[in-house]
């Protein structure tokens, strides 16, 4: 593989931060670098939120759902087009998902449809415990609408912002500050990375306290190990947090570069049958991955031909997330939609979008695609 979809992109600050952690022997799950990483994120988000650094984004979602009280017999309403880590924690807790389609104008959860279903569910006394919309490919959901729906119906709102750190919406509000809680991911392929890691961001101080408690094996205050509930070993290592500290210094640059890459692709590839993920006027996405659609009736080629042609050149491109209601695991789960997500899966392709791509690499990808689309 010569050109990857999205690779870790170090800034040069990380090794010094890790060396500092070593020098003080904080080669442990807790330590000053972890505290500093959480504080840096809180400063960056610039909102009245609490940040808890964890071993992954999935761990953050697991804790958020547990703290929201999700358990066996509960429903969680969720965007169908998402990544496994953004839904599997629903299974960990014995709850059931109900899937929602996307709004074609934003490729984020269709809030009109969600609103209609919430009204019906309220009338039938079967409201979900929580709603989990995804900031798809780095585009913030319509948070104002979602927050007012969650408040009206008294359901918890947990936003999957794993792909949208650095995105804004509305009057410059930052993605990752929404709902009762938001989750972030620092996996190797995300906007910034700690090699692996995640964060729970919440406006409720008691959620943050409980997340820290549950993430460190639920130890009650006592000199010995005392437990009145079960927990997890979910804290981020202090060494990984040191990498994250180095990455925070370049977060806005990373987002700017990904947006630039998207703009380059759009300029060079826009044409009959080629579509790009839309960006509504009040939102500024991270463009974590450039997502395009290829309409075989007009483009003279199809998604799979383009993907395979790129692969033959050592270029990694991937279909969009396969909607969860189409996965064998979730066969039979309720789905509300018209298949906007199904069509995006059929025709959509994520192009190499790493912030470390060179101009020559972008040109190379463009050249191969243009050769097929004429
Ligand atoms: C990456 C990602 C996650 C999970 O993050 P991990 O840190 O890999 O556990 C969850 N949801 C979405 C949409 C993601 O892209």
The Cα–Cα gap between 271 and 149 comes to 38
Using most ligand atoms within 8 A of CB, pick from 59, 107, 135, 187 the residue to mutate for ligand 1: 187
**Which residue, among 34, 22, 28, has the nearest Cα to 245 in the 3D structure?**
34
Q: Evaluate: CB of 133 within 6 angstroms of ligand 1.
A: no
- Helix (H/G/I), strand (E/B), else coil: 350: strand
The Cα–Cα gap between 278 and 258 comes to 15
Q: What is residue 329's DSSP assignment?
A: G
Q: What is the DSSP pairing of strand 156-160 with strand 96-100?
A: unpaired
> What's the confidence (pLDDT) of residue 1?
67
Distance 290 CA to ligand 1 centre (A): 17
- What is the helix, strand, coil percentage profile of the chain, to 5? 40, 20, 40
Query: What are 296's strand-pairing partners?
Result: none
Of ligand 1's listed atoms, the one at least distance from the Cα of 198 is 7
Distance 86 CA to ligand 1 centre (A): 6
Query: What are 274's strand-pairing partners?
Result: 271, 294
- Helix (H/G/I), strand (E/B), else coil: 7: coil
- Could you tell me the two tokens for 359? 């101009």
Distance 164 CA to ligand 1 centre (A): 11
Q: Evaluate: CB of 82 within 6 angstroms of ligand 1.
A: yes
CB 333 within 8 A of CB 98: yes
- The residue whose C-alpha atom lies closest to atom 2 belonging to ligand 1 is 162
- Helix (H/G/I), strand (E/B), else coil: 87: coil
Q: What is the 3-state secondary structure (H, E, C) of 186-211?
A: CCCCCCCCCCCCEEEEECCHHHHHHH
Q: Evaluate: CB of 290 within 6 angstroms of ligand 1.
A: no
- Helix (H/G/I), strand (E/B), else coil: 212: helix
CB 199 within 8 A of CB 60: yes
- Could you tell me the two tokens for 223? 């000199």
The Cα–Cα gap between 262 and 291 comes to 9
The Cα–Cα gap between 290 and 257 comes to 12
Of ligand 1's listed atoms, the one at least distance from the Cα of 190 is 1
- Could you tell me the two tokens for 104? 């074609």
Distance 54 CA to ligand 1 centre (A): 12
CB 198 within 8 A of CB 184: yes
- Could you tell me the two tokens for 224? 């010995």
- Could you tell me the two tokens for 153? 């119906």
CB 100 within 8 A of CB 132: no
Distance 175 CA to ligand 1 centre (A): 15
Q: What is residue 352's DSSP assignment?
A: P
CB 254 within 8 A of CB 44: no
Distance 38 CA to ligand 1 centre (A): 19
Q: Evaluate: CB of 180 within 6 angstroms of ligand 1.
A: no
Q: What is the 3-state secondary structure (H, E, C) of 225-247?
A: CCCCCCCCECECCHHHHHHHHHH
**All structural domains of the chain:** 13-248 (3.40.640.10), 251-373 (3.90.1150.10)
The Cα–Cα gap between 167 and 135 comes to 9
The Cα–Cα gap between 374 and 273 comes to 11
Distance 188 CA to ligand 1 centre (A): 11
Sign of CA dihedral 70, 73, 77, 78: positive
Of ligand 1's listed atoms, the one at least distance from the Cα of 134 is 13
Q: Evaluate: CB of 57 within 6 angstroms of ligand 1.
A: yes
- Helix (H/G/I), strand (E/B), else coil: 355: coil
Of ligand 1's listed atoms, the one at least distance from the Cα of 56 is 7
- Helix (H/G/I), strand (E/B), else coil: 320: coil
User: Which segments of the chain have a pLDDT < 70?
Assistant: 1, 374
Q: Evaluate: CB of 56 within 6 angstroms of ligand 1.
A: yes
Distance 168 CA to ligand 1 centre (A): 19
Distance 180 CA to ligand 1 centre (A): 18
pLDDT digit string, tens, across residues 75-120: 999 999 999 999 999 999 999 999 999 999 999 999 999 999 999 9
The interaxial angle of helices 238-248 and 251-269, nearest 10 deg, is 60
Distance 84 CA to ligand 1 centre (A): 7
């Amino acid at each position: 593989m010569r050109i990857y979809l999205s690779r870790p992109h170090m800034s040069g600050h990380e090794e010094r931060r890790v060396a500092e952690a070593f020098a003080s022997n904080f080669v442990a799950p807790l330590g000053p670098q972890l505290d500093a990483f959480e504080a840096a994120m809180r400063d960056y988000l610039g909102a009245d939120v609490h940040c808890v650094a964890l071993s992954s984004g999935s761990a953050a979602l697991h804790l958020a759902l547990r703290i929201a009280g999700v358990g066996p017999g509960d429903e969680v309403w969720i965007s169908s087009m998402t990544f496994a880590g953004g839904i599997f924690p629903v299974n960990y807790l014995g709850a059931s998902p109900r899937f929602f389609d996307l709004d074609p104008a934003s490729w984020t959860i269709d809030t009109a449809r969600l609103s209609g279903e919430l009204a019906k569910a309220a009338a039938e006394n079967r409201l979900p415990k929580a709603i989990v919309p995804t900031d798809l490919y780095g585009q913030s959901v319509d948070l104002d609408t979602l927050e007012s729906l969650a408040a009206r119906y008294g359901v918890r709102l947990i936003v999957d912002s794993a792909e949208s750190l650095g995105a804004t919406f509305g009057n410059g509000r930052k993605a990752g500050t929404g709902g009762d809680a938001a989750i972030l991911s620092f996996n190797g392929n995300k906007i910034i990375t700690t090699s692996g890691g995640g964060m729970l961001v919440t406006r409720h101080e008691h959620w943050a306290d409980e997340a820290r408690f549950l993430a460190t094996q639920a130890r009650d205050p006592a000199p010995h190990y005392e437990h009145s509930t079960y927990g997890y070993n979910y804290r981020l290592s202090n060494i990984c947090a040191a990498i994250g500290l180095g990455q925070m210094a370049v977060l806005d640059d990373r987002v700017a570069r990904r947006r630039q890459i998207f703009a380059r692709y759009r300029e060079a590839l826009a044409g009959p049958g080629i579509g790009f993920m839309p960006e509504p006027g009040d939102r500024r996405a991270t463009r974590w991955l450039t997502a395009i659609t290829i309409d075989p009736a007009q483009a003279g080629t199809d998604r799979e031909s383009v993907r395979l042609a790129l692969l033959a050149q050592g270029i990694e491109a991937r279909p969009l997330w396969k909607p969860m209601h189409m996965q064998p695991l979730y066969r039979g789960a309720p789905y509300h939609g018209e298949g906007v997500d199904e069509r995006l899966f059929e025709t959509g392709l994520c192009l190499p979008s790493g912030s470390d791509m060179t101009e020559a690499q972008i040109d190379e990808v463009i050249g191969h695609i243009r050769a097929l689309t004429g």
